[in-house]
Amino acid sequence: MKSIVILISGRGSNMRALVEANPPECKIAVISNRPAAEGLAYARARGLATAVVDHRDYPARANFDAALSAAIETHRPDLVLLAGFMRILGEDFVRRYQGRLVNIHPSLLPAFPGMHTHAAALAAGVKIHGCTVHFVTPDLDSGPILIQAAVPVLPGDTEESLAARVLVQEHVIYPRAMRWLVERRIRLTDAGQVLLDGEQSCDTSMIAPAGQ
Ligand code: GRF
């Protein structure tokens, strides 16, 4: 039985997509840094183990990270999946979980790291936007990429309409990446490349065929 801990801060739609993907032989627990996170209600209703580590109780980041680690360690996780988790984690925490700590980011990294990615994409006038599942490293939003999905930016798009289009793809690629990890099909090379079944991973569903 594999153990997966999902960290959330709010709505929890990605957490829900991960849970509903129902990875075989996995036990999932959900931890939030916000007691009022809407996603907690869903997790409790599903009968999952839940916990809250409220960052406001820990003014120093190192103390918050330590409390979060302690809560995570009660589940002895094989994977820690950040799903809309809105706290920056310190280097010690990240190194402790390196190789099993994964995040989803709502842009085609390395474009638009940080917050407000959809507004940034619209302001930049890009024609293609999307989302990225990546291993977490100490540098923000820049770890080795497991999978990406692209969506078109359409005339008249607003931040909200673009976010909604991207979110649909988030719910596709994050469960897919989780399954690959659970099935031990992913290998991270020393050069920081992610290999799927021994080859460089790629999601080609939104890529135009060669020659067009
Ligand atoms: C998602 O867009 C995720 O990529 C970003 O924050 C949002 C969280 O949404 N990091 P949800 O809580 O998973 O619904």
- In the chain, the domains with their CATH numbers are 1-97 (3.40.50.170), 104-212 (3.40.50.170)
DSSP-based three-state secondary structure for 133: strand
Which of 170, 171, 173 to mutate for ligand 1's pocket (most ligand atoms within 8 Å of CB)?
170
The more confident residue out of 23 and 211 is 23
The pLDDT mean for the chain works out to 94
Determine the atom of ligand 1 nearest the C-alpha atom of 39. 12
Q: Is the pLDDT of residue 204 over 80?
A: no
Nearest CA residue ID for atom 1, ligand 1 = 84
Tokens standing for residue 126 = 């890009």
Paired with 32 in beta bridges are 8, 52
Distance of alpha carbon 33 from alpha carbon 45, whole angstroms? 19
Radius of gyration of the chain (CA): 17
Q: What is the mean pLDDT of residues 29-43?
A: 98
Tell me, using a 6 A CB cutoff, whether residue 12 lines ligand 1: yes
- Show Cβ contacts of residue 106 under 8 Å, excluding neighbours closer than 6 positions: 117, 118, 131, 163, 166, 167, 170
Provide the 8-state DSSP code for 8: E
Look at residue 205 in the predicted model and tell me its pLDDT: 59
- The DSSP string of 43-58 is HHHTT-EEEE--GGG-
Reported confidence tier of residue 210, pLDDT bands at 50, 70, 90:
low
Look at residue 51 in the predicted model and tell me its pLDDT: 98
Tell me, yes or no, if 55 is annotated catalytic: no
Reported confidence tier of residue 203, pLDDT bands at 50, 70, 90:
low
Q: Is the pLDDT of residue 110 over 80?
A: yes
Show the DSSP H helices in the chain as ranges. Answer: 13-20, 38-45, 61-73, 91-97, 117-124, 159-182
Look at residue 199 in the predicted model and tell me its pLDDT: 85
Tell me, using a 6 A CB cutoff, whether residue 157 lines ligand 1: no
pLDDT, tens digit, for every residue of 176-188? 999 999 999 999 9
Q: Is the pLDDT of residue 208 over 80?
A: no
Q: Annotated catalytic residue: which of 105, 118, 129, 134? A: 105
Residue 107: which of 165, 155, 154, 157 has the closest Cα? 165
φ, ψ at 53 (rounded to 5°): -120, 100
Distance of alpha carbon 11 from alpha carbon 86, whole angstroms? 11
Provide the percentage of residues in the chain whose pLDDT is more than 90. Answer: 89
Look at residue 23 in the predicted model and tell me its pLDDT: 86
The whole-model pTM stands at 0.95
Tell me, using a 6 A CB cutoff, whether residue 77 lines ligand 1: no
Reported confidence tier of residue 34, pLDDT bands at 50, 70, 90:
very high
Burial 182-204 (b: 16+ CB within 10 A, else e): beeebeeeeeeebebeeeebebe
Q: What is the mean pLDDT of residues 24-48?
A: 97
Look at residue 3 in the predicted model and tell me its pLDDT: 98
- In the reported structure, the alpha carbon of residue 186 is separated from the centroid of ligand 1 by a whole-number distance in angstroms of 23
